[in-house]
Amino acid sequence: MNEVIITDREVSEFFLAADRRTHLEFLQELEFALQRYSTNPSIIPARIKAHTPSGSTVHLYMPVIDDVYSGVKTLGYNTNSNMGFVGSINVTDADSGALFGTLEAKQVTGIRTALTSCIGLFRQLNKFENVMQVNCTVFGGGLQAFWHVFFAVQLFKGHCDAFKINILYRRNPMDLDPLLKAINSQEAAPEVVTAQFALSDRANVRKCVANSHVIFGCIPSEIPSLQFEDLAVPSTEVEHVYVSLIGSYQPHMHECDSETIAQFKGQGTPIIVDSKEHTPLESGELYDNRVYREQLVEIGELAGSTVPILKCPTSEKTVTLCKIVGLAIMDICVSKRLLEISSSL
């Protein structure tokens, strides 16, 4: 049997050991895949969502049919399993349909989302040229938050002397030992400082948001954690803040408040999304505030253009907002490249 199966552990170990150049190669591959999607959204057919006859488990089948990226991602979720969403990614040959290889889906999902969040940030690194310490705040303490912070540190290697990580957790703090071990084991790693606060600690949440250059939202919540009044607080440390939200992926979920969206709509500043078709319907922030295609720009459309920037009306700060719900082509893209690397070893 020639099929290749790559486990979650192998995926995690590969990216934790890889250098910045390798991370950027995957980031640029993802941008290329999203450019193909923006040019032709039909390469992602409608997904299938159904429950088992017993009703205990929901299954999702998400196909991609393209001349470069082809395959299907599957996910299952059972509330009693305590495993979260688990599944597989099957990559096929675009020409023949033959199986190229299979990967477990949990780590790839976190990694592809975090790298995609960082595409707009990578295009704005020049906004932080004179920043000696980059302050990064992440809402959440789980797998998604872990990979977002990890890749952000990689992105700023050689661009700052120190990197401050603020973890704002809902229930449990993040286990920082694996993160710091991975960061400190690499060459040219900036000095990393960490702090963790509960979301209920309103004063520290506000302080972290007000003084952050980079903010990631990774909490699937119905009640928004990110408030525009916190974003807009004047700060002597921060001139520009890049925000990427990935936690809300259903219409009843919200990561930022309506005022944040209203500011972007009112100033005619586009919000960056992975899909003009899916994101306005699946993201509660955009759905409730009636954000339409004309008010969005896809990641696949950023090449050769200026990343949108909002001017805060009450301070000198500027803000870029990215909202991602996730597309199967992101999984197929990362998985295909991992399989190619694996087959060459």
Q: For residue 82, what pLDDT is reported?
A: 86
Position 113 in a domain: no
Please give the torsion angle defined by the CA atoms of residues 174, 79, 215 and 117, in that order, rounded to the nearest 10 degrees: 110
Q: What domain range includes position 59?
A: 5-108+328-344
Total domain count for the chain? 2
Write 45-54 long-range contacts (CB < 8 A, 24+): 47/328
Average pLDDT of the chain to the nearest whole number: 95
Contact 226, 258 (CB under 8 A): no
Chain segment 45-80, per-residue pLDDT in tens: 999 999 999 999 999 999 999 999 999 999 999 988
> Among 1-15, 148-162, 262-276, 314-328, which is the least confidently predicted range?
1-15
Give the Å distances, CA to CA, from 140 to 5, 43, 320.
30, 32, 20
Question: Is 225 within 8 Å of 168 (Cβ atoms)?
Answer: yes
Whether residue 130 is found in the same domain as residue 275: yes
Amino acid at 266: G
C-alpha Rg value of the chain to the nearest Å = 19
Beta bridge partners of 113: none
Q: Which two tokens stand for residue 230?
A: 């916190």
84 and 66 within one domain: yes
DSSP letter at 78 equals -
The structure tokens listed for 222 are 């119905």
Bridge partners of 193?
A: 164
54 found inside a domain: yes
pLDDT digits (tens, 9 = 90+) for 145-174: 999 999 999 999 988 999 999 999 998 999
Query: How high is the pLDDT of residue 147?
Result: 98
In tens, the pLDDT along 79-100 reads: 888 888 899 999 999 999 999 9
More confident residue, 187 or 89: 89
The reply to whether 122 and 222 lie within a common domain is yes
Backbone φ, ψ for residue 200 (5° rounding): -75, -15
